[in-house]
């Protein structure tokens, strides 16, 4: 609530400063620009792209405003100075601004820590680099250091009972393992291939010796070893098109 109040003050102060700089601008634009060159320059950089996007009538996403951050931050500073110099609300605004900054110093690290825990141990598969590396290292440990890991996600990807976005996230595992194993083969040379297939966790036994990885997501993932790649590759559905030695991501 306090952050919303401070943000309201900043937005209001920004437009008050721009309006103040625009006084007489229609009659003498050069004089108005010479009187407040900094505010006028920032206002032009901020308003012109938004007006052009509005006139174009095309879809405008919030992420497009990222390029306006270098302009918005100086304008926010101008608005803060506007209210700090105000006799009526200057002291109250200073107190709220300091309190908001201190709260954000605590909130941002806490939020990133919480989001990191949700990614690593939460109920959904989020294919972060750390999560993908954890899955890859589990498969690599189970297969052995002197082997190349190959994964097949096509049966899981074709399972209509699993939500589509979860299936697409699981398909990223295939690409990550391919990249990591390509790096490994460059360093160590030709090694025997070991195949693993992705299944829903409910479809495998927890005590199966072929179980290489069992996740905690919902729906949970499990990788079972399918033996030697040369013997099991013919039983795998073809992922996309490609040669016998390589596969394309679904």
Q: How many angstroms from the chain centroid is the CA of residue 225?
A: 31
pLDDT at 244 over 60: no
List C-alpha distances in Å: 171 to 146, 150, 165, 168, 219: 25, 13, 10, 5, 14
Question: Could you tell me which residue, 121 or 105, shows the higher pLDDT?
Answer: 105
Whole-number Å distance between alpha carbons of 162 and 203: 13
For residue 52, what are its two tokens?
């052009």
Dihedral angle over CA of 177, 183, 186, 187, nearest 10: -110
Name which of 56-70, 85-99, 118-132 the model is least confident about.
118-132
Closest to 175 measured CA to CA, from 124, 135, 230: 135
d(CA 185, CA 246): 14
119 pLDDT higher than 80: no
pLDDT in tens, 73-115: 999 999 999 898 888 888 898 999 999 999 989 999 999 888 8
Q: pLDDT tens digits, residue range 168-227?
A: 777 788 888 888 888 766 556 667 778 888 877 666 676 777 777 776 655 566 777 775
- Read off the tokens for 72: 């918005």
- Higher-confidence residue: 158 or 176? 176
Classify the C-alpha dihedral 62-65-52-75 as positive or negative. Answer: positive
Residue 136 · residue 149 · CB < 8 Å: yes
pTM of the model: 0.53
pLDDT, one tens digit per residue, over 12-35 is 988 888 888 877 666 777 877 888
CA distance 98 to 91: 11
174, burial (CB in 10 Å: exposed 0-12, middle 13-18, buried 19+): buried
Are the C-beta atoms of 84 and 95 separated by less than 8 Å? no
- For residue 98, the model assigns a pLDDT of 92
The span from the first CA to the last CA of the chain, in angstroms, equals 46
d(C-alpha 50, C-alpha 68), whole Å: 10
Length of the chain, in residues: 250
CA dihedral sign of residues 126, 130, 134, 137: positive
DSSP code of residue 34: H
Which comes out higher in pLDDT, residue 111 or 57?
111
């Amino acid at each position: 609530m306090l952050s919303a109040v401070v943000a309201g003050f900043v937005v209001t102060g920004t437009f008050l400063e721009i309006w103040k700089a625009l006084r007489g601008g229609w009659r003498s634009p050069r004089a108005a620009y010479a009187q407040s060159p900094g505010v006028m320059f920032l206002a032009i950089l901020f308003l012109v792209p938004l007006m052009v996007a509005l006139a174009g009538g095309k879809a405008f996403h919030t992420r497009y405003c990222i390029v306006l951050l270098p302009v918005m931050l100086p304008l926010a500073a101008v608005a803060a100075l506007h209210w700090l110099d105000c006799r009526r609300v200057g002291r109250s605004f200073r107190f709220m601004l300091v309190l908001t900054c201190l709260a954000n110093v605590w909130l941002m690290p806490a939020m990133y820590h919480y989001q990191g825990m949700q990614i690593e141990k939460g109920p959904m598969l989020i294919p972060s680099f750390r999560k993908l590396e954890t899955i890859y290292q589990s498969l690599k440990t189970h297969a052995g250091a002197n082997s190349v890991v190959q994964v097949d996600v096509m049966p899981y990807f074709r399972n209509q009972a699993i939500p589509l976005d979860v299936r697409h996230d699981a398909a990223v595992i295939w690409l990550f393992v391919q990249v990591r194993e390509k790096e490994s083969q460059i360093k160590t040379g030709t090694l025997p291939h070991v195949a693993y297939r992705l299944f829903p966790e409910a479809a495998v036994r927890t005590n199966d010796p072929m179980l290489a990885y069992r996740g905690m997501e919902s729906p949970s993932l499990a990788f079972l070893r399918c033996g030697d790649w040369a013997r099991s590759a013919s039983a795998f559905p073809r992922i996309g098109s490609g040669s016998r030695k390589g596969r394309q991501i679904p």
